[in-house]
Amino acid sequence: MIILISLGIEGTAEKTGVGIVDSDGNILAMAGKQLYPEEGGIHPRLAAEHHAEWIPKLIPQALDESGLKYSDIDLISFSQGPGLGPALRIVATSARSLALSLKKPIIGVNHCIGHVEVGKLDTGAVNPVALYVSGGNSQVIAYESGRYRIFGETLDIAVGNCLDHFGRETGLGHPGGPVIEKLAKKGSYVDLPYIVKGMDFSFSGLLSAALREAEKGTPMEDVCFSLQETAFSMLVEVTERALSHTQKDEVMLCGGVSANSRLREMLKTMSEEHGAKFYMPEMKLCGDNGVMIAWLGLLMCNEFGPMDLKDTNIIQKFRTDEVDIPWIDNTKTYLELPVEFIAKGAESNIVKSEYLGERAVIKDRIPKGYRIPEIDNKIRKARCKEEAKLLSDAKRAGVKTPVLYDVNLADKSLTMEEICGVMLKEVIDEDLAFRLGCEISKLHSADIIHGDITTSNILFDDGKLVFIDFGLGRYSQLKEDKAVDLLVLKKSLQSIDYNLAVKYFDLVLKGYDDDSILKVINDIESRGRYAH
């Protein structure tokens, strides 16, 4: 077998790097340089100037480290996006110049997928749910139906950006994460907003609230502790939900924010609570680096061949789910549940029971070991009360839900009718997709946001659709919230069958029968969710 050697150039934001990897996965060289701004955040022009200065120095440095000659390189790989436009253009121009001068093939790759693939290479993870967190990106990624799917992501700014912004505004410096982590170890909890919308999270409101606490004189240690605990709890909760939905048995943390020991601890705890294996690559591979670009270039080139030069333009908002990934082993190991469990969800255990002679289930909102008690108790109690009310109001709106028998706020549990139908994901067809849209319209007309409309949370029983698990539900008149509700469903449909998802979602919208919602959905999807 011929061993190929790839040289990768990275430079999507403030870091630039050059890595050399062979097709057996051996890392032969890794060189890099980071821009540290004197004040403020990362300016795109300064990042570009930094990369233009350092890439020509890092390439020979990496070759020296590897002991190779230019002629030994078989492929030039570069980060095509997402990222800062000016920085990406320097990287692409450098890669094209090198490929032309050496007469070598070239390939552009997705930066986010590079993080996941180098993490798998380093840890041995096969098919994990990955939490990718950095200054510019916050995504929960898992492989389904031929591509990496984004099961959850930020609706505004990335978690790294949130921490850095807080650091700059409060005079802690840039990057903010390391200083915040240090101060948080001496802090106590103050109440801050916890914002999870379906499978997505939002950090701008949390950032504003933390800044207000700092301005009014709350001890900085307490604000840092609360900001960190709240932000990371949100990230881990959505990762947990993706793990529960996909039923995978591996979790991996990657990206620059992985440096935070508290985030690592929380994600490891969550994984252990679900019986899943936890992985994290070596720290030097978590931040942006050329090795991940070189390795992904080899994987892509092996499947698709190199690119024509005309196709090497940058893609500033390059989505993770836009890339076909044919090399994944999609084998899943399903965990066996105790016999008394109907399901172990992200939020609750569902246990068989009986209520006044009727078959019932108890939805037990179990404590989460990864969350501090102050946040955990607040969320579990609030969601228990809200779900009880939502179940009743949804029924009044004409939507079938389980009959609620009892609410126990002390235990944060609900006792309700057992529904014996099958999950919608197992039986969905065009007719059911249309009917689903009609039912969601009834909920939204009553200003009920389900919060977690997945094809696992809708059952088909006795010819009817039954909505269960309103655990993330709330009331809202905002079109934005209703559109986000529908987008959760869209992602869920994509995880069943990506090719049929478009048809099914169109039929859902047809049943929903409100043309104005489509504009809001398109607006949310088209937003730049990368801080770059």
Strand arrangement, sheet containing 5-10: 27-34, 15-22, 5-10, 75-81, 106-110
Question: Of 41 and 400, which is predicted with more confidence?
Answer: 400
For 64, other C-beta atoms within 10 Å of its C-beta total: 11
pLDDT tens digits for range 375-394 = 999 999 999 999 999 999 99
Q: Number of C-alpha atoms within 13 angstroms, CB side, residue 129?
A: 31
pLDDT tops 90 at residue 217: yes
At residue 145, the pLDDT reads 79
At residue 197, the pLDDT reads 83
User: Quick one: tokens of 451?
Assistant: 């919060």
Q: How many residues does the chain have?
A: 532
Give me the amino acid identity at 235: L
User: Model confidence at 198, in pLDDT bands (50, 70, 90)?
Assistant: confident
CA dihedral 304, 24, 325, 249 (to 10 degrees): 170
Please give the Cα distance from 100 to 187 (Å, whole number).
55
Least confident range of 92-101, 166-175, 228-237: 166-175
CA dihedral 8, 12, 14, 15 (to 10 degrees): -10
**Mean pLDDT of all residues in 203-208:** 96
Please give the Cα distance from 367 to 371 (Å, whole number).
8
For 321, residues 6+ apart whose C-beta sits below 8 A from its C-beta are: 147, 148, 149, 150, 494
At residue 253, the pLDDT reads 97
pLDDT tops 80 at residue 526: no
At residue 344, the pLDDT reads 64
Residue whose structure tokens are 């994290």:
280
pLDDT tens digits for range 119-165 = 999 999 999 999 999 888 899 999 987 889 888 899 889 999 999 99
CB 106 within 8 A of CB 68: no
At residue 246, the pLDDT reads 84
pLDDT tops 80 at residue 46: yes
At residue 468, the pLDDT reads 92
Q: What is the CA radius of gyration of the chain?
A: 24
At residue 32, the pLDDT reads 93
Q: Are strands 5-10 and 75-81 parallel, antiparallel or unpaired?
A: parallel
Mean predicted lDDT score pLDDT of the chain:
91
At residue 529, the pLDDT reads 45
At residue 531, the pLDDT reads 38
Q: Are strands 129-133 and 474-475 parallel, antiparallel or unpaired?
A: unpaired
Please give the Cα distance from 69 to 158 (Å, whole number).
39
Would you give the DSSP letter of residue 259?
G
Give me the amino acid identity at 373: P
**Mean pLDDT of all residues in 299-307:** 96
CB 19 within 8 A of CB 29: yes
At residue 350, the pLDDT reads 85
Query: Is 452 an active-site residue?
Result: yes
In the chain, the percentage of residues whose pLDDT exceeds 90 is: 74
Least confident range of 13-22, 347-356, 371-380, 441-450: 347-356
At residue 335, the pLDDT reads 53
At residue 39, the pLDDT reads 63
User: Model confidence at 530, in pLDDT bands (50, 70, 90)?
Assistant: very low
Q: What SS3 state is found at 23?
A: coil
Burial of 498: CB neighbours in 10 Å, binned 0-12, 13-18, 19+: middle
CB 19 within 8 A of CB 292: yes
pLDDT tops 80 at residue 239: yes
pLDDT tops 80 at residue 336: no
At residue 331, the pLDDT reads 65
**Mean pLDDT of all residues in 277-290:** 95
**Mean pLDDT of all residues in 463-479:** 93
pLDDT tops 70 at residue 112: yes
Please give the Cα distance from 1 to 24 (Å, whole number).
10
Instruction: List Cα–Cα distances, 145 to 12, 403, 500, 527, in angstroms.
Output: 28, 35, 11, 25
- Among residues 222, 452, 469, 481, the one annotated as catalytic is 452
In the chain, the percentage of residues whose pLDDT exceeds 70 is: 95
For 221, other C-beta atoms within 10 Å of its C-beta total: 16
Q: Are strands 75-81 and 106-110 parallel, antiparallel or unpaired?
A: parallel
For 513, other C-beta atoms within 10 Å of its C-beta total: 10
pLDDT tens digits for range 250-266 = 999 999 999 999 999 99
pLDDT tops 80 at residue 339: no
Q: Are strands 147-153 and 358-364 parallel, antiparallel or unpaired?
A: unpaired
pLDDT tops 70 at residue 321: yes
Instruction: List Cα–Cα distances, 9 to 77, 112, 113, 255, in angstroms.
Output: 6, 14, 15, 17
pLDDT tops 50 at residue 453: yes
Please give the Cα distance from 56 to 178 (Å, whole number).
30
